[in-house]
Amino acid sequence: MDYWIIIGAAAGLGLMHTILAPNHYLPFIMIAKARKWTLPKTMLITFLCSTGHIFGSLIIAVIAVVFGVAAAHVEIFDGYRANIAAWGLIIFGFIYFLYGVNAAIHNHTCCEHIHTKKNDVKSLTPFILFMLFLFAPCEAWVPIMMFPALTNVPVYTVLIALAFGFTTMAAMLVLVYFGYRGIHALPFKRWEKYSHLIAGGVIFLCGVFVAVFGR
Percent helix, strand, coil in the chain, to 5, is 85, 0, 15
**pLDDT tens-digit readout, 115-157:** 544 454 447 889 999 988 888 877 666 666 666 555 666 677 7
177-187 average pLDDT score:
91
d(CA 165, CA 59): 12
Query: Longest Cα pair distance anywhere in the chain, in angstroms?
Result: 64
The pLDDT of residue 69 is 59
User: Has residue 35 got a pLDDT over 80?
Assistant: yes
Considering only residues 131 and 188, tell me which one the structure prediction assigns the higher pLDDT. 131
Average pLDDT, the chain: 80
Contacts of 64 (CB under 8 A, 6+ apart): 71, 73, 74, 142, 146
Contacts of 55 (CB under 8 A, 6+ apart): 134
Considering only residues 55 and 142, tell me which one the structure prediction assigns the higher pLDDT. 55
**pLDDT tens-digit readout, 71-105:** 556 666 667 777 888 899 999 999 999 988 888 88
The model carries a pTM of 0.81
191-200 average pLDDT score:
85
Q: How far is CA 44 from CA 49, 53, 64, 72, 75, in A?
A: 9, 14, 30, 35, 30
182-205 average pLDDT score:
86
Backbone angles phi, psi at 123, to 5 degrees: -65, 140
The pLDDT of residue 142 is 63
Range of the domain at 138: 3-114+122-213
Q: Give percent of the chain with pLDDT exceeding 90.
A: 31
- Count structural domains, the chain: 1
- Calculate the dihedral angle through the C-alpha atoms of 144, 148, 151, 154, rounding to the nearest 10 degrees: -140
Go through 152-189 and write b for each residue having 16 or more CB atoms within 10 A of its CB, e for each that does not. Answer: eeeebbebbbebbbebbbebbbebbbebbeeeeeeeee
